[in-house]
Structures are given as C-alpha cells and as structure tokens.
Amino acid sequence: MIAEFLVVSGWTIAGAVMLHSVGLRDWSVWPLGLVTGLALYFSLGALQVATPLPDHPAVAYAGTLAAAAAFACWRAPRLRDALPHWRSGAVAGAGIAAVVMVTRTVHIVRWHVDTFEYFKVAALMTQGHLDDGTFIDALDKRLLGVPMMHAPALWWDEWYLRSVTPLVGIACLTIVVWVVHQGVRGSLGQRLGWVVPVLAGLALALTNRFQFHALYLNGHLLAATFLVALVGCAWLYLDSAGVPEPALIAVVMAASAGLVVTRPEGGLLAGLALVSFVVSDGVTRRHRALTLLALGLAVSTWHGYAAVAQARLFDHTPATSLAYAVVGAGVVAVGLLVAAGWSTPLVPWLPGAFEASLWLGLLALVVHDAEIFLESAPAILAMYTPIETAWGGSLFAFYAASLLVLWRMRFIHQRVLRYPWSTFVVLALVLAYARDGRYHGGSFDSLIRMFIEVVPVMVVFIAIGMVRGVPRDVGSASATVVAAPSRA
Amino acid sequence: MKRAWREFWRHPGATAVATLGALVAMNGIQVDAADYGQFTLANAWHRYDHPDVFAAALEEDPNARTRYDVYVALAEIAPDSVVLIPDHGEARTSRSVSRLYSFGAVDEVVETRVDARGLGELALSQGVLVASGAGGSHGAPWVILVDGENGRDRGGPLLDLHGVLTGTAATPVLPEPREWWWLVAMVQHPDSDYYYTNVLVESSVVGLEGDQVLP
C-alpha cells in the first residue's frame, strides 16, 4: 500500500512541481500534475524502448523525478517557486492516500481479455524482453502507456496498480471542472461561475460508461484525460483566460506526447486537436514550434521504432506505423521551420483541409473496400441502442447537445474544442481500415469503448459553448467571439 | 414568478445550467436505475469485488483461465525446460511467445516452421516440453489430449493439469511414442479463425499412464 502510494505520488509531484515552476498556482496543479508526470514517464519509456537503453520502467520512473527536479531548478531558482503550497499538497496527498487505501481494500475493478495483453507488455518490459521480437504485434496496438502505468506493481509482485485508474478518472473530472470554470468565470458571477463547472463534472461523473472506465484496466480513460487536458489548455491559452501560458503549453506538450503512446489512435487525436491550435494567430511562434516538436518527436520516435522493429522481423512494415512515422517526421520538420521563423505551412485553412481529407480518405477506402465500413456501421448505429452499448442514452444526449451548440452558437476558437469529437467517428473508421479490423458493436466493442475518449471534451464544449457562445444569427459584432489579439 | 422565469433565461448561464442539469438528471437516473448488464452503482460491489484480476479471470473467463493457467502450469511442471517453437512465423505466434515469456514459462525459442506432425517429431527429438502456436484472444477454448500411440482423441473434459482445462475438439494425429501427451488448447475466434496452443507434455509429468482414459 505504501509502495503504491509513493509511486503514484511520485508521478503527481513530479508533474505538479514542473507546472508550478512555470506559474500554475491553483489547485489544478495536482490533477494536471498527474497527467504531466505520467506523460513524461511514458515519453522517457518510449525513448528507452526505441534506443539501446535498458527498458526497465524503473529507469523511466527515476528519470521522471530527475527531469522534474532539473526542470524546476532551471525555471524556478527559489524553492517556493517550485513547490506547490504545503496545504494543497497535503489535501492532494490525503486524497491519493484515500484512493489507494480504498482501492486496495475493496478490490473493485473491471477487466477484459485486452487487460492481459497490457500486463504482458508490462512484464516483458520489466524483464527486458521487448527487443526479442516477442512484443512485435503489440507495438502498434497496445503501445506503452497502460503497460508502463501498471508496471511498477511488478516491483512488488503484483500485476497492476489498484489506484491509478480511478485516480486518472478523478483527474479527468477535476480537469473538466477546472477548464470550464476558467472558461466561464468571466461571463458568470462568482456563484454561477462554479455551478456550471460542477454540473459539467457531475454530468460526466454520473455517466454509466465513465464510471465503468474509471475502474476498467485499459487505456481509454487515460487517453480521454490526456485529450481533455490538451484541448482544454489549448483553448484556455487562446482565450487568454489568465492562466500562465507556459504552464498551459507544458500541459499541451506533455498530454499530446502521452496520448501518442497510449492508444493507436492517440497520434491522430492529438494531431487533430493541435492542428487548429497551431494555426491560430493567438499562439506565439515559440509555443507553436514547441507543441509541434513535442507531437512530432513523440510520433516519429515511437512509430518509427515500431516500423523499423516490424520490418526487422517480418517481411513488411505495417502501413500504419510507416505512415505515422513519416507524418511525425514531417511535423518535426515543420516545427523546426516554425522555430526558424518560417510560418508558411501553417495556413488558416489547414484544419479544414485535414477534416475534409479525413472524410475523402474514408470515402476512398469505402469505394475501394466497402466490407469493413458495412460491417462496422452497426457499431456506429449502436450509439442509438442504449442497452446493447451500455451507454444508456448518455452518448446520444452528449452528441445531441454538442450538435445543438454547434448549430446554434459560436464562440471564440470553437474549432479547438470541436475537432476531437466532430471528427471522431470518421477517424475511428479510418483507423479500422488502417488496422484491417472492423467494429462489431456491443459494450466491449472497440469503438463503443473508444467513445469515452471524446466525451469529456464534449462536456467542456457544451458547458463553455452555452455560456460563452452567441447565437449565430446575431452576427459577428459581439465581442464574445472576437479573437484574442495575435501574440505571434 | 413569470418575471423570475424570464430573468433566469436572460442570464448567460441559464441555458448551460438547464442543459447540464438535464444531463446530470438523465445520467444519474440511468446509472443507478438502468441495468445494462454492465456497471451500475447498484451492482458494482457484486460484479467488481474481486481480490485480484487474475482471480477474477480464473473465476469468470474460461478463455483467460486456460491461457493463463496453461503457462503457469508449464512453468511449474518444468521450469527451464520448455522450448517454444513458433509454427507459423506470424504475428499471432509471437503473441504466444511473448505471453510465455511474460509468465516466465519459456527459456528458449527455436525459430523454425513446421506443421503439426513436424512439431511433434521435433519435440520428441529434442526431448523437451514444447509449446507452440498462438492462444487466441477471443471465444471459448477447447482442450484435447491425444494419445501419442495412435493419435486417438480422448475427447471430453480431459486433463487435470491443475484442474483448469476442459473441452473437446477434433485433432491432428500425433506421432509416436505414447509417453508424450499432446495437449492442444484450441481457441475459436468469432470469425471461425482457429488459433492453437499446443503443448507436448511427458505423461509422467502430468500423472497419466498408458491407456488411461480420462473422464
């Protein structure tokens, strides 16, 4: 119990210290700290696996703590600038301890055959067998995030950390509340400025599938948490909401890198979420370059390794890994060009072109081979069959409310909060083609489980859109939708 | 009252409060009242209160039970004497290899491609336990035991390796001699794609003798 508490606290403190060092001073430093700490840990692990370094997760864990300390020394010469206030730390520590204690006592957990695959990867990584070729089929399907998150349990002869998945769920909820609060507090009074965020958090927390995923040993909710942290902080940055920009950029960078190594679709989700951010005028050249480099390096490192490793052991390199690696390298190149002062590629129509290319790409795939699409269609329509998918009416209601906001309202940098969910189904179908697999429907179907990845972003979109948005028929005169001045 | 109602809707947060409140009510009612056969607060303790995920696997999922216990049993029966021979050279074979690695049941991998008969012969020539094939990740498993003398399928719930393996299925013929028992854990994929986990076990190791017919 103590060991698990120390491990989870280590990730949280590492991330919190980094974010506090770059100016984040409120309570969000703890949930965002867990997200940032985990993302840094995964990134170091990916680097270990992709290079001749030893693969043992303890190396990445030690590296995470060391990197956080080094970062704090660099950014915050004074100790008090690096360490969050002891009172908030005590509350966060007590919360983590309580979750560890409860989850280790009541053993409430959900698992699935996929769970074994993640534990297997964790065991292989710990035993140093990843490079023997035994992990090959998991490279582009299981990735590293979930195995690494549970790998420390192997240090004391257990298979998984009881507390970390529920803690990620709590982090997801609190991040949603915090982002919505930051987004609406200027428009609402003091009291309502908290009512709306708390209602948003409750709407998510009471969702059947959210509770399921908060106890489910898999990576969907982890990906959802990375995504809502990424998108929420990106939007707050553009909104000039008063949160220190370096802290927001640090979360965006960490969350996008973490997303890439957590789920196969993580790279696409992060890319789609970031593309509308980086082309915005409100982003400085330095921050634009940093976010592009974080995403590009994560994608090219991990998927490049996957492509090379599979080419080494099989007769061919899977197209998905290869495409990811090439695109990742391209994003790195663009990031370097932006850093050097060249901004031509980042034209405003790029997000629209990306979205259109997804739809056109899917159309081409369906024309080429309609079977996967036709067989997957029932799974998509299953959104409307509450019993079969176990979502109840929640998914339909979230989509309906989001579409209502999209249809009736517009608000500043709406696209940043819209992209992840409005492109999700088509992205999932393209992914089905890329993996040569189809969706079958039912509560354990991949697509049905994957929907949780975008639902927290939808909740943020609904809450902020309904407060900050103005009806489309009002015209563009309202100051609400006027973009923040360029900082480039 | 009417005025207060109008005032409420003029407030910038009114629509958000109403919509989110409706979502809270809807989700709240569903999560506790609806039974989707999945997670609800009402049955959470019943469905999720397991001491360990693997205990849960053993209790609830015969597929996971077979896969896991075959490997654990192998490791217990013959530590450091299991050789794994991938028989297809495909991704799903490496999945089996890695699974065996992860459970500590393999200490050597022989890279070769052989058919079922060749696998048996190779195993016998090496005088080792052999695990081969891929254990599937879907569907229900069957486990069969084949008499090494005539390849007769013993059928039925067959092997009490550790009280975990059950089932029956047709099987290819195993070459001589009879002191080897060929354990085949066959997992049926929903698309009728069959994966195999084949294990040659020396009869004395599993406590079986001669023509003993298992129940």
**Tokens 């390794």 found at:** A305
Instruction: Provide φ and ψ at A152, rounded to 5°.
Output: -55, -25
User: What pLDDT score was predicted for residue A202?
Assistant: 95
Residue B113 has pLDDT above 70, yes or no: no
Domain spans in chain B, listed from the N-terminal domain onward = 1-49, 53-206
HSE, CB side, 13 Å, CA atoms: give it for residue B195.
24
Q: What is the phi/psi pair of residue A176, to 5°?
A: -60, -45
Q: Is A416 exposed, middle or buried (0-12, 13-18, 19+ CB in 10 A)?
A: buried
The minimum CA-CA distance between B135 and chain A, rounded to whole Å, is: 12
Task: List b or e across B159-174, with b for residues whose CB sees 16 or more CB atoms inside 10 angstroms.
Answer: bebeebbbbbbebbeb
Distance separating alpha carbons of residues A88 and A68, to the nearest angstrom = 19
Say what the pLDDT of residue B116 is: 37
Q: Is A317 helix (H, G, I), strand (E, B) or coil?
A: coil
3-state secondary structure (DSSP) of residue B144: strand
Distance from CA of A94 to the nearest CA of B (A): 24
pLDDT score of A47:
94
H helices within B106-163, ranges in order?
116-126
Residue of A160, A192, A208 lying closest to B30 (CB–CB): A208
Task: Say which of A108, A209, A443 has its CB closest to residue B44.
Answer: A108
Check CB contact under 8 Å for A199 and B17: yes
Mean pLDDT of all residues in A80-99: 90
More confident residue, B104 or A264: A264
B105: pLDDT strictly greater than 60: no
Whether the CA torsion B139, B143, B148, B154 is positive or negative: it is negative
- What SS3 state is found at B140? coil
DSSP A200-218: HHHHHHT-HHHHHHTTBSS
* Cβ pair B98:A135 closer than 8 A: yes
Residue A76 vs residue A271, higher pLDDT:
A271
Q: How far is CA B77 from CA A120, A166, A326, A444, B205, in A?
A: 21, 38, 47, 35, 7
B201, B139 Cβ separation under 8 angstroms: no
Strand residue runs (E) in chain B: 82-84, 108-109, 129-133, 141-147, 180-188, 194-202
User: pLDDT band at A370, cuts 50/70/90?
Assistant: confident
How much is the pLDDT for B31?
A: 63
Sorted by sequence, the CB contacts under 8 Å of residue A412 that are 6+ apart come out as A238, A239, A468, A480, A481, A482, A483, A484
Q: Which residue from A130, A304, A118, A121 is spatially nearest to A220, judged by alpha carbons?
A: A118
| Burial readout B137-146 (b: 16 or more C-beta within 10 A, e: otherwise) | bebebbbbbb
B190/A467 Cβ within 8 A: no
Element (H, E) at A470: strand A470-471
Measure the CA angle with vertex B32, ends B28 and B34; round to 5°: 105
Q: Confidence class of residue A384 from pLDDT cuts 50, 70 and 90?
A: low
pLDDT band, very low/low/confident/very high, at B13 (cuts 50, 70, 90): confident
Question: Which stretch of A345-349, B109-113, B133-137 has the lowest confidence by average pLDDT?
Answer: B133-137
Judge: A207–B27 Cβ closer than 8 Å, yes or no: yes
Query: For position A485, what pLDDT does the model report?
Result: 47
Cα B114 from chain centroid (whole Å)? 24
Q: Is the complex ipTM more than 0.90?
A: no
Sheet holding B180-188, edge to edge: B108-109, B82-84, B129-133, B194-202, B180-188, B141-147
Q: Which residue of A has its CA nearest to B16?
A: A466
The DSSP code for B129 is E
Q: What is the mean pLDDT of residues A42-53?
A: 93
Torsion angle, alpha carbons of A202, A208, A213, A216, to 10 = 130
Highest mean pLDDT pick, A76-85, A97-106, A304-313, A346-355: A97-106
Using the structure block, give the residue that is written with the tokens 């079958």: A440
Residues A143-170 pLDDT 10s: 899 999 999 998 887 778 989 999 999 9
Considering only CA atoms, which of B183, B90, B192, B194 is closest in space to residue B143?
B183
- A466:B16 CB<8 A: yes
pLDDT at B103 over 60: no
Tens-digit pLDDT profile for residues A187-224: 887 788 899 999 999 999 988 888 888 988 899 999 99
Could you read off the pLDDT of A402-460 as tens digits, one per residue?
Answer: 999 999 888 888 899 998 999 888 888 888 887 666 776 666 677 888 889 999 999 99
Distance from CA of B195 to the nearest CA of A (A): 15
B35 touching A, CB under 8 A?
no
* Closest residue on chain A to B26 (Cα): A394
Percentage of chain A with pLDDT > 70? Answer: 88
Q: Which of the two residues, A196 and B149, has the higher pLDDT score?
A: A196
* pLDDT, position A450: 87
Q: What percent of chain A has pLDDT over 90?
A: 48
The pLDDT tens digits for B41-86 are 444 443 433 334 444 443 443 333 334 444 444 444 444 434 333 3
Rounded to the nearest 5 degrees, what angle is found at the Cα of A20, between the Cα atoms of A18 and A24?
125
Among A32-41, A397-406, B198-207, the least confident range? B198-207
**A109 vs B24, B38, B48: nearest CB:** B48
Mean pLDDT of A179-192: 89
Q: Do A120 and B28 touch (CB under 8 A)?
A: no
Query: Is A390 an 8 Å CB contact of chain B?
Result: yes
Give B123 or A14, the one with higher predicted confidence.
Answer: A14
Find the closest chain B residue to A458 by CA distance. B20
In eight-state DSSP terms, residue B86 is -
pLDDT at B37 > cutoff 70: no
Structure tokens at A291: 């976010």
Q: Quick one: which H or E segment has residue A409? A: strand A409-410
Cα–Cα distance measured from residue B195 to residue A112, given in angstroms and rounded to the nearest whole number: 19
How many alpha carbons lie under 13 Å from residue A441 in its C-beta half-sphere? 16
Mean pLDDT of chain A: 86
* Residue B101 confidence (pLDDT) above 50: no
Q: Do B23 and A127 touch (CB under 8 A)?
A: no
Of the CA atoms within 13 Å of residue A434, those in its CB half-sphere come to: 21
Q: Is B127 left (phi over 0), alpha (psi -120 to 50) or beta?
A: left
CA distance B214 to chain A (A): 30
Quick: pLDDT tens for A475-485. 544 444 444 44
- Residue B134, pLDDT > 50, answer no
Taking only residues 10 to 29 of chain B, the set having a beta carbon closer than 8 angstroms to any beta carbon of chain A reads: 11-13, 15-17, 19-24, 26-28
Which of the residue ranges A241-250, A362-371, B53-62, B204-213 would you say has the lowest mean pLDDT? B204-213
